Structure 1
Amino acid sequence: MRQPGDRSPAPGPLALVQDLLNTVDIEAGRDRLRTIAELTAFAAAHDAAGLSFTDSDVTETRRFREALRDACRGHAGSEVPAASAAALRYTLGTSPLLLTIDGTGAARAVPATGLGGSAALIAGVAAAILNAATAGTWPRLKACAAHRCQWVYYDHSPAGRGRWCTMSICGSRAKMRAYRAGRSATRSGPAA
């Protein structure tokens, strides 16, 4: 799986969300969540070993992943499709979470105990999103504005206005397309 060259991973719990979203490389046409074995390996790599999954868990997790990608595209300025927003409202709204207080008095959301399959994995993602939203970091998790890329990155820029996973690749391509479109419009402008 590719890694954008000039972006570092998302901090803390958002790393789980970023990793889930980047299990598909749209540009290369590779998906690492096609089978039960792949979903099991992903869960084990993210401290959720021992979960068992079914084919419907794979389908549900992939559907959730793509709706969540649309939300991250919204962070980069795109409109979140109504169907994706509705799917996220339902899925995240039914994820059982608990509020815990640690020894320092800090509060955070955690998945409820006793969950299995995709419900456990999605509850972990929901807790990560809620904790990041509380910390103000959730809007910085963005999907690249380049339609053929959509790689999810954490926007570390001071202003938080990044639109591309890498300026040197996707940003450069977008600027070149805009430049060519401007030149083409100038050349085909009104005849004198």
Structure 2
Amino acid sequence: MSDRSSAPGGLALIESLVNTLDIETTADSLGTAENLERFGITEADLPRARELRESLRAALLAHAGHAPHGRVTPLGELLARAPLVVAVD
């Protein structure tokens, strides 16, 4: 458990999504009934939700000066597919 406080406001949802994977144990809780409801997704949405989670994780790691844990779709590319376009640099 970290001594850090939770992310403020709406960022808490992003933090929750990113934290659905324990990288050390590879335990993935995104597909639990609780998290499906929390994030408003279905079983069919899981592959895209996981792709988003890993892109967010890679962006956060890059911001902290670290390489991603694996190959991911760049967040900017992933967001460009969405109806709302957000530029991240």
TM-score by length of 1: 0.38
Q: Which runs of 5+ in 2 are unaligned?
A: none
Amino acid in structure 1 at the alignment position of 2:24: E
Q: Supply the distance in 2 between the matched residues of 1:84 and 1:94 (Cα, whole angstroms).
A: 11
Structure 2 match to 1:40: 36
- Answer yes or no: is 1:71 the counterpart of 2:66: no
Unpaired runs of 5+ in structure 1? 98-122, 134-192
1:84 maps to which of 69, 73, 79 = 73
Task: Give distance in 1, aligned partners of 2:50 and 2:71.
Answer: 18
Which of 1 and 2 has higher RCO (CA within 8 Å, sep 6+)?
1
Q: 1:92-134: CA deviations, max 9, x gaps?
A: 113234xxxxxxxxxxxxxxxxxxxxxxxxx9xx7xxx8xx8x
Contact 2:21 2:27 in 1 (8 A): yes
Provide runs of 4+ in structure 1 moved above 6 Å: none
Q: Is the 8 A contact 1:39 1:53 kept in 2?
A: no
Of structures 1 and 2, the larger Rg is shown by 1
Q: Alignment partner for residue 81 of structure 2, among 78, 85, 94?
A: 94
Q: In structure 1, how many angstroms separate the alpha carbons of the residues matched to 2:71 and 2:38?
A: 28
Query: Pick from 42, 62, 83: which aligns with 1:53?
Result: 42
Deviation readout 1:23-79 (Å, 9 max, x if unpaired)? 1112233211135x3542332xxxx5xxx5243x10110111112101100011024
Q: Counterparts of 2:73 and 2:6 in 1: how far apart (Å)?
A: 25
Q: TM-score, normalised by structure 2?
A: 0.73
1:12 CA displacement: 1.3
User: Higher strand share goes to which structure?
Assistant: 1
- Identity of aligned pairs, percent? 39
